[in-house]
Structure formats: C-alpha cells, structure tokens
Amino acid sequence: MIASVERSQVSGEVSVPPSKSYTHRAITISALGPGGSVKRPLLSADTRATIRAAEAFGAEIAIEGETLAVAGVGGGPKTPENVIDVENSGTTLRIMAAVAALTDGAVLTGDASIRRRPNGPLLRSLGDLGAEAFSIRKNDCAPLVVRGRIKGGRTVLDGSVSSQFLSALLISCPLAEEDSEIEIKGELKSRPYAEITLEMLEEAGAVIETDFQRFSLRGGQSYDLGGYTVPGDFSSASYLLAAAAVTGSRLTVRGLRPSNQGDSAIVSILQEMGAKISWDRSEGVLEIEGRDLSGVEVDASLTPDLVPTIAVLGAVAEGRTVVRNAEHVRHKETDRLRAMAVELSKMGAKISERPDGLVIEGGGLRGARVNGHHDHRIVMAMTVAGLVAGDTMVETAEAVSVSYPGFFEEMARIGATVEVGGE
C-alpha cells in the first residue's frame, strides 16, 4: 500500500498504543507460568506472532476485549507439532528459540526479513547451556533448529548485536534444571530492553542477580505474573510527538507514564531540540508545542528504535544533527541507517551515512515518492517527514501493522492530511 501525505498540522488529544516490548514479554512469561491476564496488550502483527508461538508451546490464550486471558504451561512447555512461523517479528524469533530449548525441540522461521537477521550469539549460548541450536543454512539466520534442552551452566554472550538474545536467555534459564551464568562480552546494546525483561521477571517472582556484566540465574524457578497491565509505548509515541514538533503544532498525548523503556528519551531529545513540553508523569499526560528546532547529537546505543524519528527531526531542524553508536540499527527489519539516508536524500535532505550513525544538515524537505522498506518504523518516520514536505508518497505503508496498526487512522483523526490506498 501507499500512504499519500500532504503538508498539514496536528492538534487535539491522542492516546498512545500499548508497548510492543512489554506485550511480547507479558505473553511469554504468563504462558510459561500458570497463566493470568494481560490487560491492555498491543494486538499487532508482531505480538500476534508471539501469541501463536506461545500456543504452539501449549498455552491457551483468548482475546477478551482489551484483555488476554492466558492459561499457561506451568513451567513445562510442550514440543510444538509444527514449524513456528514468526512472520516479521525478531523478538518472537529470539525469545521463542530460547523457549524451544525448554522442550525436546522446535523449528522456527519467518519472512524474508527475518531470514536475513543474525542469531549467532543466541545459538552459541544455547549450545553452551546444553541444547543443540543451529541455522539450517549455516548462516546464523532462520530457519533455526533447536534440539534438546538447556540444562544450565555458563555462557559468554556478545552484547553488541541485540539485547533480544539476552532477554531470551533471561526468560528461559530460570526454568532450566541447573543454575546458569551469563557473561556479557563488550557493550550491551539496547540495555533498556533487558531492563524491561528483568523488571517483568522479577514481578513474576524470578530471582536474578546482576551487575549487567554477569547475570546469575538460579535454576528450577517458576513464574506467576498474575494480572499485568501493559504500559504505553514510547517508540510509537515518538512519531506523534515528532509530528507536532516538526509542524509547529500543539498536541496532548495520553498514556505516557515513566517506565524502563529507553525510547522515553524522545522527550528529552525533543526538549533539547527546542520543543516545549510539559509532562504530568503521574497521570501519564504529555503536552507538546512545536517550535523552531535545532540540531543535536544523540547516542543511540540505548535507543535504536528512535533513529528513524531523530533522522527526520534532524532534517527539519536548523544546524547539524549527529546520530552515533547506532551500528546495531543495521540489523533490524532493514538496515535503518542506510534506509533513512537513502529516503531522506530523495526529499532533499543533506544526510550522510557513517558506519555507526548519521550526520544530517537540517534545513527543510521537499515532497517525493519514498520507500518504507517494509519496515514499520521507516514508514512512520517518513510519514512524519511528509507532513512538512507535502506531496509525499510512502510505499509499503502496510508495514505499520507490525507495531501500530491504527497509525494512519490516528494521524488523520488529529488533523494530518494522509490517505492510504493501493499501489
């Protein structure tokens, strides 16, 4: 599909969708325990993939209005009867590969993008802990085969590619028979996502000791998350906030309470660039007023999903914006550094790509036909760019279903001139 975007402003109030990251983990942890309820989950293509995978391992999950009713497996997931297809969800692939190592085994695959994303560190760690885990094509990419069960032990995990590998092990290792120790090699990228995992595991009753270089996990534990309410998603909120910031608009955004989400940094980034923001943290209500923006330098090591949003903000702002420590962004649904450099250049942005980031000389954008690279975050970021440039068409617009299925409808409701149609 194609999204057609014209120059426009936004106004009024909008509620952010629930967090994708928290929803993935809530489903999995509930499914591995006795069960419970996940309230206000995000129901998107990615999280539905996690629901189907959890069901393949023996959980029963029913959608009841704005709640998921989960009947869990009580720490004993069953061996799936068929291949698990995670579609476009890298989080589902990594977490469920580790869950598979609590069974006699499974085969996991996904779409073309998933079959290009690396999983070597996770496969090697599962092997260290007693399972057999490998890539059918011997390239560390899906399809993945996991055979046998992790027993426990010690592993060294490369932290430079994705924190999803660590989150997967943190979820599975406490359910192994023996104790486990995970040592992180190098810098742990996207650490806030691991912090989310730890937060939720501890809420479910797990005991994990860590200084974020070593993680000690006692074996033979169990989970009980009970009734869990998913917080709002700062990653999705970044497009709404950026839309107001780049168009000089006023917008009230609801559902943003403080959490371990690294992408909450979008608030301070926008303030540093010049947007006026007031945030009632206890009520979760944030008001933003767009003003003239200035370039900033951003370390994206902890906030990889903000990179497309920041790139658009930088293209509109005056002066130079530098994004650094973002090499891990190349291993997402697409190479997001390359994609943003290519697509914003089509709109007249002066943007150059570095091995670990982007340099953007701001000053304005013009309308163009751009490609969303089948990546939900690229599509939404380029839609925000279109609000400033006008006369913009964003291809592969359907990709927003991965994390924000109602994105275009919500944008139109708050005043954006955007239409979605055929090719």
Give the pLDDT confidence of 339-355 residue by residue, as tens digits.
Answer: 999 999 999 999 999 99
Query: pLDDT band at residue 393, thresholds of 50, 70 and 90?
Result: very high
Can you tell me the mean pLDDT for 189-215? 96
162 assigned to a ligand binding site: yes
Predicted confidence (pLDDT) per residue in 15-51, tens digit: 999 999 999 999 999 999 999 999 999 999 999 999 9
Residue 80 has pLDDT above 70, yes or no: yes
Mode of pairing for the β-strands spanning 214-217 and 208-210: antiparallel
Query: Which runs of E-coded beta strand occur in 40-141?
Result: 60-64, 67-71, 84-85, 105-109, 132-135
Closest CA to 99 of 62, 146, 163: 146
- Residue range 82-111, pLDDT digits in tens: 999 999 999 999 999 999 999 999 999 999
pTM over 0.85: yes
Q: Where are the beta strands (DSSP E) in 105-163?
A: 105-109, 132-135, 144-147, 153-158
Q: Which CATH number fits domain 2-17+232-421: 3.65.10.10, 2.160.20.10, 3.30.2320.50, 3.90.1150.10?
A: 3.65.10.10
Residue 403 token pair: 């994390």
Give the domain ranges of the chain. Answer: 2-17+232-421, 20-229
Q: Is 261 annotated as a binding residue?
A: no
Q: Which residue has the higher pLDDT, 126 or 187?
A: 126
Is 72 annotated among the ligand-binding residues? Answer: no
226: which DSSP letter? E
The mean per-residue pLDDT over the stretch 300-305 comes to: 92
Q: Which fold has domain 20-229?
A: UDP-n-acetylglucosamine1-carboxyvinyl-transferase; Chain (3.65.10)
The reported pLDDT for the residue numbered 364 is 84
Q: What is the mean pLDDT of the chain?
A: 96
25 is in an annotated binding site: yes
- Residue 184 binned pLDDT confidence (cut-offs 50, 70, 90): very high
In the predicted model, what is the mean pLDDT of residues 123-146?
A: 98
pLDDT band at 187 (very low <50, low <70, confident <90, very high): confident
pLDDT value of position 333: 85
Tokens of 265: 């940094």
pLDDT for residue 363 is more than 90: no
pLDDT at residue 231 in the model: 96
Which residues does the annotation mark as catalytic?
305
350-364 mean pLDDT = 95
Q: What is the pLDDT of residue 423?
A: 67
pLDDT tops 90 at residue 332: no
Is 369 annotated for ligand binding?
no
Mean pLDDT over residues 325-351, rounded?
95
